[in-house]
Amino acid sequence: MLQQNTSKTAAGVALRALVAALCAGAAVQVPVQASSHREAPFIAKQPKVDATDFYMFRSYEPGREGFVTLIANYVPLQDAYGGPNYFMMDPDALYEIHIDNNGDAKEDITFQFRFQNANKDAQLTVGGKKVSIPLVINGGAIADPNAAGANVRETYSVSVVRGDRRGGQRSAVTNAAGGTVFDKPLDNIGNKSIPNYAAYAAKHVYSVNIPGCSTPARMFVGQRKDPFVVNLGETFDLINIKAPATEFSAGAEKAARDDLADKNVTSIELEVAASCLTAGGDPVIGGWTTASMRQARLLNPVPASGGTGAAKHGGAWTQVSRLGMPLVNEVVIGLKDKDRFNASKPMNDAQFADYVTNPTLPALIEILYGNAGAKAPTNFPRNDLVTAFLTGVKGLNQPAKVTPSEMLRLNTSIAPVAMGAQKRLGVIDGDNAGFPNGRRPGDDVVDIALRVVMGKLCTLNLGCAPSDAPAGGLHFTDGAYLDDSFFTNGFPYLKTPIPGSPQQ
């Protein structure tokens, strides 16, 4: 027994020493790889830092039209019944939303989110002894933030950085009611543990003050029903879609299953006054989300009691996840560069230019469906895709000065469209408040992207001519349909997550 205790002590001393060295810059590194619905090799191993979707749009909630809503979703493919740990965020990671407001492909404003998990160690007296319960999340009914029935408390803090994300001016975002620490609601365990989840989650919507912005913002971080719709299974089975265009089959847009219909996701949401995000009189902003991890990780062979000592992390922050425009890393970037893309910054996107100017997805669609009339565009380089993905469309959402780079771009001077009047195909269907001018929860980006890569912009003489895109007018689709039932009319816009147990 003495030998075992001595071994544990030695292991602890060695662990602390090595972590100190790592923090000081020792060159023991985790591979720099990563992100978006498991689309890159490394990020499949790190779901807590996998960004699934990024949204940026003029708020369409009545009375909030002067605001921009930013939503960064993380932790993909959450099964509602996924206990007992469920889907807490990573306290050893840094989650960020970046805004470029002068078109130079560099962040000018960054919102940084850090999370903390506290084990409250709920216990029962059994046979005269107090014993910790095995349930990770809850030991009783929950209705309020940090409720007595919760066995864990997940909190977060937020900073705003102006300038470079690491070297700029950093200030704390504060609760309008006081304080800098915010509670994140527990995931939707089920209706017995949290009888009214919608009311419970609503108590975690905060009014916050952002230094440098005179108008209070709103903030929510928590589990939501995943609003993204996609026919994942058939799409990645060599686009094994029975009818990939409406011209090939009537009702094709609703002919397939939405594989995310029963999945939840974790959302980081901010609603900020548009005037606090723009600069220099240019109404166009660019945005993207990233997650970073410490450069090194050391596993503890003898984890400490309390669940916090399984590993130690040290070294510089290293970006492992990046997401701006949807689907870019999934269907544009080649396999060998997916991890590299997720570790990169927009200002260095020239290294990926060939994937945009000479894309492989249209060629694959022609190979699979050419006999039915699916012909890839013939204009090279594909300047229409450069416009869509790298610069924004002139007169719509292109900044006054722009460095070509991949990010979501929004013209904040274009008025929002009310729920019920929005068109799911956005700009290509005449709704200029929708994708690719930003992205709303109701924009069917899969159908839009399929049509754009097959030459839809050529039919509009944007970067190419109609003759360059023989199939540019076809209504391509993945068969997973999106409508108003997938989102709500007000902040936080995404619907209440599916409960792990629907029974009372």
Q: 98-118: per-residue pLDDT in tens?
A: 999 999 999 999 999 999 988
Q: Which helix (H) or strand (E) is 357 found in, with range?
A: helix 353-357
In the predicted model, what is the mean pLDDT of the chain? 88
Confidence of residue 3 (pLDDT cuts 50, 70, 90): very low
With CA atoms as reference, report the closest residue to 248 among 493, 410, 478, 459: 478
Instruction: Please give the pLDDT value at position 371.
Output: 87
What type of residue is 415? Answer: A
Overall average pLDDT of the 70-82 stretch: 92
Instruction: Please give the pLDDT value at position 85.
Output: 80
What type of residue is 247? Answer: E
Per-domain boundaries in the chain? 28-486
pTM: 0.89
Q: Which two tokens stand for residue 407?
A: 């990010």
In percent, the amount of the chain with pLDDT more than 70 equals 89
* Cis status, amide bond into 492, omega within 30 of 0: yes
222 Cβ partners below 8 Å, 6+ apart? 184, 185, 201, 204, 266, 267
C-alpha separations of 332 from 84, 363, 449 in Å: 37, 12, 11
Confidence of residue 335 (pLDDT cuts 50, 70, 90): confident
Instruction: Please give the pLDDT value at position 476.
Output: 93
CA atoms within 13 A on the CB side of 495: 17
Q: Is residue 59 scored above 60 in pLDDT?
A: yes
Which long-range contacts (C-beta less than 8 Å, at least 24 apart) are formed by 348-351? 349/105, 349/390, 349/404, 349/405, 349/406, 350/404
pLDDT top residue among 134 and 257: 257
Looking at mean pLDDT, say which of 79-88, 242-251, 343-352, 458-467 comes out highest. Answer: 343-352
